[in-house]
Structure 1
């Protein structure tokens, strides 16, 4: 699906945009739409030169899990947590005979899902992708799982003190990832979709009345950084940008900020650029007669 392509059904219109961190790297994000549902994943793994135990890679994992989730949500009205459990099992079965899925660096992904029924919106988030609901109030409702960020903040001081792009930063990033792998999918740590289907039970979920929501956005952390890392827009301003100019405009603003701070001096971060994906789903309000 091309960036900013509209997807329409009788009651559904979305705009999507996704962009890799670099033209020379595969996009490890995934976004897909089926009638009445949106799925967004942000793949995670190990940087080049580090062992992962998997011959397929992070982009493959994100695509496989995302497409499997889309198939599940199309075919079943089961709770979103159950659909994620099934999907993790399915994808694990595709490569457990060729790859070491017990390796701490095996590919994983964040998950954000939104499904609309006749009168409600069901949501699920796992790890640091974000769902924003515009309920018509001054500040929108932001649905996120901050366990990864809370754990990461405890171990990122050395990494944040070093300029991006230097050998020292690269080595510190590897050490940071090794430490974070030790906290992934463990009690007291953070949870992502990977090889263990039990991770799905750690998802944050909820339901809201559909008629209370004017629009929704799903963002990978490479897109949400305009607000939650750079502080260049409030969540309301970010939603307005999506509504007025579309998801590609959001990614363009993120890239501009990244280019202004290539070494992470103003905004310390593990990656100067990250894959960025955004989906915007407006809900037409009923007209008063």
Structure 2
């Protein structure tokens, strides 16, 4: 068994991703950033939130025999209590994040995915890997991103359009018909995608923030199978290097329209056999 992990902040910004692993569990969070000019109601910020929740979840997966949904709900509740009465947890911009959780026991691998980070399972004997991503945010966002995508990245106009886009999405966050992320309401855990596979059926797993998965799902420069092969051969650092290379080749977003020219990128590669 081997775990390799790499994370890299977008240039000039604090890292709002979190990744951690133990011999029996791994967790990855991608914090939902607060655009310049927007308020969050929280004095701590997104990096604090993902670090607090990520470490809480990792401990919970190792200490509890409950379901991953229960561990996530308890974790959200515990972190909310850390800054309740200090921050405005009712604010629509209160720090939040995507969640990928993976727990391996002697006989099974349990997984949970909430929001748009990606879990890729390399299933033994399958031609294509099993890819799990909760795309509800992307479905909602498709209605509102046209104006932002039409503008050159990092211009004053694009920055304003990105802020408007993020603030519009807040109205759909953690609501029926919208999308769900980890924030302050433990009931969001019930909306996560979950599953269990036999431990002997999976050779390896990759947990990817959307800043790392964009090499496949946004830029379409490699396939999921090629991403797993790259992680096997060269590790997460090389995957992130290739993401940065692609981002730098399209600074104005003409080829790949996106809210962030560069995004925090984090990858965990867990090889079981």
Fold match (TM-score > 0.5): yes
Comparing 43-52 and 124-133, the one that deviates more:
43-52
**Residue by residue, what CA displacement relative to the aligned partner does 1:65-114 show, whole Å, maximum 9, x if unpaired?**
00111111111111000000000000000001110011011100000001
Cα offset, 1:48, TM superposition: 2.2
TM-score by length of 1: 0.93
The answer on 1:35 being equivalent to 2:28 is no
Hey, what does 1:85 align to over in structure 2?
Answer: 73
**Residue by residue, what CA displacement relative to the aligned partner does 1:32-87 show, whole Å, maximum 9, x if unpaired?**
01221000000013112211100100000000000111111111111000000000
The answer on 1:63 being equivalent to 2:51 is yes
Mapped to 1, the partners of 2:77 and 2:116 lie a distance apart of 22
Preserved contact between residue 35 and residue 74 of structure 1 (Cα < 8 Å): no
SS in 1 for 2:89: coil
Mapped to 1, the partners of 2:143 and 2:65 lie a distance apart of 39
Mapped to 2, the partners of 1:94 and 1:36 lie a distance apart of 27
Hey, what does 2:84 align to over in structure 1?
Answer: 96
- Equivalence map 1:134-213=2 (5 Å): 134-136=122-124, 137-213=126-202
- Gaps of at least 5 residues in structure 1 are 1-11, 285-289
Aligned partner (choices 236, 240, 252) of residue 247 of structure 1: 236
Hey, what does 1:72 align to over in structure 2?
Answer: 60
- Equivalence map 1:260-271=2 (5 Å): 260-271=249-260
SS in 1 for 2:30: strand
Hey, what does 1:113 align to over in structure 2?
Answer: 101
Q: CA RMSD in A?
A: 0.7
Cα offset, 1:127, TM superposition: 0.1
Mapped to 1, the partners of 2:63 and 2:127 lie a distance apart of 37
Preserved contact between residue 15 and residue 246 of structure 1 (Cα < 8 Å): yes
Mapped to 2, the partners of 1:77 and 1:154 lie a distance apart of 40
Flag as ranges the 4+ runs of structure 1 deviating above 2 A.
none
SS in 2 for 1:103: coil
Mapped to 2, the partners of 1:71 and 1:263 lie a distance apart of 41
Cα offset, 1:283, TM superposition: 1.4
SS in 2 for 1:224: helix
Preserved contact between residue 45 and residue 106 of structure 1 (Cα < 8 Å): no
TM-score by length of 2: 0.98
The answer on 1:233 being equivalent to 2:222 is yes
Preserved contact between residue 36 and residue 163 of structure 2 (Cα < 8 Å): no
Preserved contact between residue 212 and residue 240 of structure 2 (Cα < 8 Å): yes
**Residue by residue, what CA displacement relative to the aligned partner does 1:125-169 show, whole Å, maximum 9, x if unpaired?**
000000000113221000110101111111110000000111110
Mapped to 2, the partners of 1:86 and 1:261 lie a distance apart of 41
SS in 2 for 1:86: helix
Aligned partner (choices 97, 113, 116) of residue 128 of structure 1: 116
Higher relative contact order, chain-length normalized (CA < 8 Å, sep 6+): 2
Q: What number of residue pairs does the alignment pair up?
A: 272
Hey, what does 1:287 align to over in structure 2?
Answer: none
Mapped to 2, the partners of 1:224 and 1:27 lie a distance apart of 16
